[in-house]
Chains A and B, each alone.
Chain A
């Protein structure tokens, strides 16, 4: 635990890594340009270790591919820590000076022998040992991960047990090293930076922090609630209970992208008043009481912050259609009607209000961003920005080594639901297809959803390649053709959520979630696959959309 939810290092540095530990990241599909840096590092002689339940494309470039059983990451990382500590491969000076909790971890980790981890993870113990030794020996060892680590009911613990490895070996603050979550959306970092979190004011200042709150109260001229708000996941429960009466969504197709879509639908339908502001009439917008047309990408000025904390300018190139307006302008105008009179004429003025009250962004201005972006923390106008975090210190007093027990997934398989569904992305399509689904030609690259299934499972279920099947979980049912592939390990099927009209995959996923971040376990839920009777199949081909809508309703 070191204190920042962002890449510790920078994207271009990956090319210089000597060792890359890629875990829970299907980089070639989800971050294709970051994958180029990884491939370049490998061409330059770096060792790449790929850990993933699926035999993803990145495995083709790996020095060693370790096929891990879904949801057993903690056992693997703990066993690596076990080897690093037992063989005294850790950086003794670094551990003594910069970290806390070593003795507790050392004691705790004893039971996580590579042999014990092999039983849990399915990874041969000799591979675990070799990887631990190589990671510890490398001077510039970079850990990269994506939502394959965080979208689990033990997501925080996954990250903490993974971070132990970098702390033990002193891999923070090193060029080409660090612990690097690759963020999935263009401005997920910026949304967090701007304070769009129930527990955080802008710049990750806690709502419970009196001094921070007092500062924002002065800036905004209001009194602020010192208690954290609720996350999306809790809000959905509150809507169903009738406690949450109104929801305002800016630019998200929640009905298609959130876990357990049947429950999301029930929650949104229970609301008294739903406002959706978007660029298209998404499935979510169709449920709204008021839909507001927003100006989108290419039509607005502003900034995005990427995975490496780099704030970059985005610019208006064309006018929005009809009477659509930029999101900030719509909300400002609404604010005025509620009597809040502060007016902004341009996003630069909004940025300045944010930056002058936010220490990590204080030195960044639109003038400085004209040619290239700047990486936060950037406290002053003459500060160059921060390429690498934690060179001298951590956000917390020390980097804390955390003893984390392995727990496993929240919804294991059973007789009725014998397969694990894991979800993710495909390169040419993006999220719920709102944008890529409306870009010509993409449909030729990924024409529709399909269920990736191992040949053994397909044989057992007597399924032919391309056959349309029914996939169901405790929460709902969808239909899609199968693709028989060794990429899926036996017992695991893979689907994306790119085609929510025809195949709303998230009616299947579970909203069981991490207790700390409340991130649902998108990466594992129990499902079954059934053949569709011949006459039924024909009907579904003709009327696919209608049938899936029915199944969505049935899931309620």
Chain B
């Protein structure tokens, strides 16, 4: 890897050390300076579509997009001024003027969306600019990704993540000018596209245009708690947050701090956790009586196991037992199982499902 060469710049009057190749935005955020963004996702190439991150650079006639402009030695950058603030408010006024008024489902049910967090901060409201509304609700009926392009602001984060990170290229920018839109090939539904349903488009969307359909209609955002954990499927160990309302897991979002997942999930971690509350879950112990598994109490189940195990151990010794543990269960439960086999029953006949 190339050794990073350092350079010195000035941000808001403070001298800051940075390195060649970094953008103004990266350098500013590294040094704790906040610049608002809307179309920016650090995992993909900057599109500089929204211009919200515009900053002044000494010697430049016009503001530059901090997400796309690379650092140059000696740059003097101003990230905050009344002119910049006013420009940002106007940009937001323009953005929301194309969207319908009324409450945002994402803010209501999932949590504050990035767009409305910013409009609140800048006191921006729809209605300043009159004109047609853009985008419409998609008729796509896939069960995972809700698409309402009347809420879309054409930031292209979804298409960039789909193309550059997932590399599925299921959705792309289509149309021109005011007719610009996000579409799957031939304007089809996502089930007929190359979409893998990784859900990353939902997670990067800064508005209510793309949402987790399985999570919608389940709870108000204020009733939801998030529990940081790790995906239960393959061995990648992607971090995720379980969204919980009324003692029910209603869905997941990625853990952006996960070292292996780095904010990504696949269709299983994103959309396949509803088995947790499935009606088929075992709720009581079962004991076979007259050939049929019938409900029993814990005491009855334990008593029967103790009776049979004791008899078999007395007759045939500990090696007539074998214990198969689970690569799906926690390490702690696995430890207890092998301890039970070795310390209580007295056998090393313990194995897990790794070889099969």
Contacts and interface: CB of A to CB of B under 8 A. Distances in A.
Interface of A: 10-12, 16, 30-34, 36, 39-40, 43, 61, 182-199, 201-202, 207, 216, 220-222, 224-225, 227-233, 235, 238, 243-252, 254, 257-259, 272-273, 275, 278-281, 285-286, 288-294, 296-308, 310-319, 321-328, 331-335, 337-338, 340, 344, 347, 350-351, 353-354, 371-373, 427-428, 430, 434-442, 444-445, 517-520, 522
A351 B234 contact: no
Contacts of A33: 236, 238, 260-261, 264-266
Contacts of A305: 237, 331
Interface in B312-337: 312, 316, 318-337
Contacts of A10: 259-260
B253 interface: no
6 smallest CB-CB distances across A and B, nearest first, come from A322-B283, A306-B237, A302-B330, A251-B326, A229-B348, A183-B235
A259 B356 contact: yes
Interface of B: 1, 142-144, 164-167, 191, 196-198, 214, 225, 227-239, 242, 244, 247-249, 257-262, 264-268, 271-278, 280-288, 293, 298, 301-306, 308-309, 312, 316, 318-356
Given A185-B327, A303-B332, A438-B278, A318 B248 contact: yes
27 contacts: A11-B260, A33-B261, A188-B235, A191-B325, A191-B354, A197-B352, A198-B348, A224-B348, A229-B322, A232-B355, A235-B322, A248-B324, A251-B328, A254-B324, A254-B356, A289-B288, A291-B293, A292-B285, A298-B276, A306-B260, A310-B237, A321-B282, A337-B303, A373-B230, A427-B268, A430-B233, A444-B191
B257 A440 contact: no
Given A188-B352, A250-B329, A373-B259, A32 B282 contact: no
A252 B328 CA distance: 8
A203 to B, nearest CB: 10
Given A231-B351, A254-B324, A280-B282, 20 more contacts: A40-B165, A187-B235, A195-B335, A229-B349, A245-B316, A245-B320, A250-B329, A298-B273, A307-B236, A313-B228, A315-B229, A337-B302, A354-B331, A427-B267, A430-B234, A438-B280, A440-B274, A441-B214, A444-B191, A522-B356
Contacts of A303: 330-332
Contact of B285 (A39, A257, A291): A291
A247 B350 contact: no
Contact of B239 (A247, A312, A347): A312
B112 to A, nearest CB: 22
Contact of A246 (B257, B321, B355): B321
A331 B234 contact: no
A247 B331 contact: no
B329 A187 contact: yes
A231 B268 CA distance: 30
B312 A245 contact: yes
Contacts of B266: 32-33, 427
Binding site of B, secondary structure by majority: helix, strand, loop or mixed?
mixed
A314 B325 contact: no
A12 B293 contact: no
B245 to A, nearest CB: 10
Nearest to B280: A280
B254 to A, nearest CB: 10
A331 B321 contact: no
